[in-house]
Amino acid sequence: MTVKGGDPLDRDHYVNPEPFNPTAAETLSPEQERYYQASQWKIMWWKFRRHKLAVWSGAILILFYLAVPFAELIAPYTANERSNDHLYSPPQAVHFFHEGRFAGPFVYGLEASVDLETVRWVFTEDRTDVQPIRFFCFGSQYKFWGLIDGSFRLFCPAEGGTLFLLGTDRLGRDVFSGLVYGARLSLTVGLVGVTISIVLGLFFGGIAGFFGGIIDSLVQRVIEILRSLPELPLWMALSAALPVTWSPVWIYLGITVILGLLDWPGLARAVRSKLLALREEEYARAATLMGATPSRVIRKHLLPGFTSHIIASASLSIPAMILGETALSYLNLGLRRPAVSWGVLLNEAQDISVVVVYPWLMAPVVPIIIVVLAFNFLGDGLRDAADPYK
Amino acid sequence: MAFYVLRRILTMIPTLLVISLLTFIIIELPAGDYISNQIAALRAAGESASIAKLEFMRSEFALDRPFLERYLIWIGFWPGPHGFDGLIQGNWGWSFEYDKPVAEVVGPTLPLTIVLNTATILFVYVVSFPIGIYSATRQYSWGDYGFTLVGYIGLATPNFLLGLILLYFSNRWFGLSIGGLMDPQYIGEPWSVAKALSILAHLIVPTIVIGTAGTAAMIRRLRANLLDELHKQYVTTARAKGMREARLLLKYPLRMALNPFIADIGNLIPSLVSGSVIVSVVLNLPTVGPVLLNALQSQDQFLSGFVLLFVAILTLFGMLVSDLLLAVLDPRIRLGGKAPS
């Protein structure tokens, strides 16, 4: 075939002078190499990091959880400290400028008077009484974790002054300090409960998925029945059965056990279906043939395959437990004073006519909603990252 | 179909038995029983006159028998002091706290409980269905983003706190109580259209409060399911052949996505019923919720046992209806196969 001049095909074409490398398609770029050699957890982290909302939620949760070990240092008062002169005192706003001049963060002192018509205390800001907030200071005495005496705090009220950032309740207890102390119980209840639920879920899901047969169908029936029951009424009944004579610590443990006791079916079901799929894999069969015991096969060979899934789904059931504790304490069935949790604080808000007059009693609602939202976003991010090879 | 319905109902019986046993164990967990505790209190106070009467009541209600026997008497499988007289025979037990039969205590609250839960399920269906379709067909539109955001917040906001917040603001802004079942002037009045309307108006807020989280979850599920279907090739084929969008959507992908939608409602029912119990307490609605709370606090065991059982049966019944609906919709299920999820 001859091609005449002027034909569009007749032009110079580029030829790469370099020698042809027949494995070019198989060589990995440094980026790919990094990806293929990274561990599963590393890839999960890369994937998780892309989920901006989940990362932010995680950061917020870490902030909140700081209150768990350091509650005594953060709160300006202890949780059950009463200020008899300040019953139902409103929140004191933090100001920076006094009469046009910068005066650092301070609050105005409160002046109490009695309103004889409604028969209650009325607090007004005394605009001449400047009470600067002290930082890294020594305030009232506390027992750190109930063990070590101390009085050092992050910030405290001025000498002889008050600092009620979110007001006080009916006995003059500082609501903000209550929130900080309450975080200790409210935030850990979910973690302990989930731990119990994971142990139960792994056990029942594990035996059901691995052995199959009659054990499997028995566990499946139990799961089905438990899942078809409304949780909250059962939680209520179980925590009403906790003896009144128990100390707060035991009640707390009892509540976490109750919360975990009804939560495992979902987890067990996930474990079971994963196990059913994984035990057919060749590496599992090889291990069995080499004489590994069932528990070893489950622990060493199958479990690592879906740990990430368990963590992700567990993180999604933590908020439900936090809410469960809150609901029970709100209904007077869970924790009680002197134990302080967000639900116990909300208990003060049971009478709506009181709340309308003293709205700051609703304050615990805010951290609860923030924490629950954050856990939901975090769980979503974890769930997406849990299967990094997809 | 008839065979499927029969089989489905028969499988409920063992479940019911297990649940009733579980309930009985739970209500027997606290130390002693209502009457023994009263006897102990009287003895401590040194009053022996009324103890004899209480001892008589103890044997009257078979509280002095062994555990399994008490359970069987409660259910009605075993002759009690008055022959076969248990739940199956229609005797719901005796409320010690109110000194009345349980039926008289909870009787008035049962219809409202059922109405409230049915209304909530309908609300979830009616609201999530169109929004789910809208979000899927107009993916990444402003409306879709808006609903997703609202849905996220709705999913995470605990219903009883939502109830509390709404209660506060309605009191604060409008000075009106959204709690209770009807306006105070209708209490004790004979039935009338105005009274029925007042009840309906008062049902709106609790229905929304209980149903929000469920609705948000359903919207997300329906959107995801429908999106999966919309990207399949049969949709492209139908569109290439010139089918109109609306007809195309209703005829094929929607039907496929409907299946998991209905199955999910079944899974949602336990949490909806849970929600209705606590929201009723917060909003002071005369459903079984407040009754249960009181009964648990005063250890009124037959009353709390009956309410627990009733709530569980209500849930089971809801799941039964959702299963039957699914069978009507999907022949693969009533013919013995399994639904793809």
Q: pLDDT for B98-152, tens place per residue?
A: 888 888 888 888 888 888 899 998 999 899 889 988 888 888 888 888 888 888 7
The reported pLDDT for the residue numbered A62 is 93
**Nearest CA distance, B328 vs chain A (angstrom):** 22
**Nearest CA distance, B250 vs chain A (angstrom):** 31
Interface test with B, best of A51, A225, A315, A329 (most B CBs within 10 A): A225
Q: Residue B158 and residue A356: Cβ atoms within 8 Å? A: no
Contacts of B158 in chain A (CB under 8 A): 323, 326-327, 368-369, 372
pLDDT surpassing 60 at residue B97: yes
What's the sign of the alpha-carbon dihedral B233, B238, B242, B247?
A: negative
Identify the segments of chain A with pLDDT beneath 70: 1-11, 387-390
Q: Are B26 and B308 in contact (CB under 8 A)?
A: yes
pLDDT band of B340, cuts 50, 70, 90: very low
pLDDT band of B339, cuts 50, 70, 90: very low
The reported pLDDT for the residue numbered A63 is 92
Interface test with B, best of A224, A228, A369 (most B CBs within 10 A): A228
Q: Given the structure tokens 């707060």, which residue do they identify?
A: A248
Which of A180, A195, A184, A229 is closest to A75 using CA atoms? A180
Determine which helix (DSSP H) or strand (DSSP E) holds B100, and give its type and residue range: strand B100-101
Q: For residue A338, is the peptide bond before it cis, meaning its omega torsion is within 30 degrees of 0?
A: yes
Question: A362 in contact with B at a CB cutoff of 8 Å?
Answer: yes
Can you tell me the distance from the alpha carbon of A313 to that of A380, in angstroms, rounded to the nearest whole number?
A: 9
**Nearest CA distance, B319 vs chain A (angstrom):** 8
What are the tokens at A305?
A: 């395959």
Can you tell me the distance from the alpha carbon of A318 to that of A298, in angstroms, rounded to the nearest whole number?
A: 25
Interface test with B, best of A232, A325, A347 (most B CBs within 10 A): A232
Which of B298, B304, B336 is closest to B34 using CA atoms? B298
Question: A355 in contact with B at a CB cutoff of 8 Å?
Answer: yes
Strand partners, A101: A98
Contacts of B294 in chain A (CB under 8 A): none
Pick A352's closest partner by Cβ from B27, B167, B293: B167
Q: Residue B164 and residue A362: Cβ atoms within 8 Å? A: yes
Question: A354 in contact with B at a CB cutoff of 8 Å?
Answer: no
What are the tokens at B339?
A: 């639904």
In degrees and rounded to multiples of 5, residue A107 shows phi and psi of -125, 155
Indicate the pTM of the whole model.
Answer: 0.82
Q: Residue A234 and residue B277: Cβ atoms within 8 Å? A: no
Q: Which stretches does DSSP call E strand in A38-182?
A: 95-98, 101-115, 120-132, 134-144, 148-156
Strand partners, A174: A168
Question: A316 in contact with B at a CB cutoff of 8 Å?
Answer: no
What's the sign of the alpha-carbon dihedral A169, A174, A179, A183?
A: negative
The reported pLDDT for the residue numbered A3 is 47
What are the tokens at A358?
A: 């003293």
Please provide the distance, in angstroms rounded to a whole number, between the alpha carbons at the two ends of chain B. 21
**Nearest CA distance, B117 vs chain A (angstrom):** 13
Can you tell me the distance from the alpha carbon of A74 to that of A61, in angstroms, rounded to the nearest whole number?
A: 16
What's the maximum distance between 2 C-alpha atoms anywhere in chain B? 91
Contacts of A319 in chain B (CB under 8 A): 156
Query: In chain A, helix, strand, coil percent, each to 5?
Result: 55, 15, 30
pLDDT tens digits, one per residue of B224-280: 888 888 888 888 898 899 888 888 888 888 888 888 788 777 778 888 888 888 888
Contacts of A237 (CB under 8 A, 6+ apart): B26, B27, B292, B296, B304, B308
Which of A346, A378, A376, A351 is closest to A362 using CA atoms? A346
Q: Residue A327 and residue B292: Cβ atoms within 8 Å? A: no
Interface test with A, best of B157, B161, B164, B297 (most A CBs within 10 A): B161
Q: Residue A359 and residue B157: Cβ atoms within 8 Å? A: no
Q: Residue B270 and residue A327: Cβ atoms within 8 Å? A: no
The answer to whether the complex's ipTM is over 0.85 is no
pLDDT tens digits, one per residue of B71-87: 888 887 777 777 777 78
Residue of A nearest to B305 (CA): A237
Query: In chain B, helix, strand, coil percent, each to 5?
Result: 75, 0, 25
Pick A225's closest partner by Cβ from B19, B299, B308: B19
Q: Residue A230 and residue B312: Cβ atoms within 8 Å? A: yes
pLDDT surpassing 50 at residue B189: yes
Can you tell me the distance from the alpha carbon of A193 to that of B308, in angstroms, rounded to the nearest whole number?
A: 23
Contacts of A386 (CB under 8 A, 6+ apart): A44, A308, A309, A311, A312
What are the tokens at B3?
A: 């065979």
Q: Given the structure tokens 């067909």, which residue do they identify?
A: B137
pLDDT tens digits, one per residue of A74-90: 888 887 888 888 888 88
Interface test with A, best of B149, B150, B159, B168 (most A CBs within 10 A): B168
Can you tell me the distance from the alpha carbon of A62 to that of A66, in angstroms, rounded to the nearest whole number?
A: 6
Residue of A nearest to B291 (CA): A233
Contacts of A229 in chain B (CB under 8 A): 19, 22, 270, 312, 315
Contacts of A348 in chain B (CB under 8 A): none
The reported pLDDT for the residue numbered A1 is 44
pLDDT band of B184, cuts 50, 70, 90: low
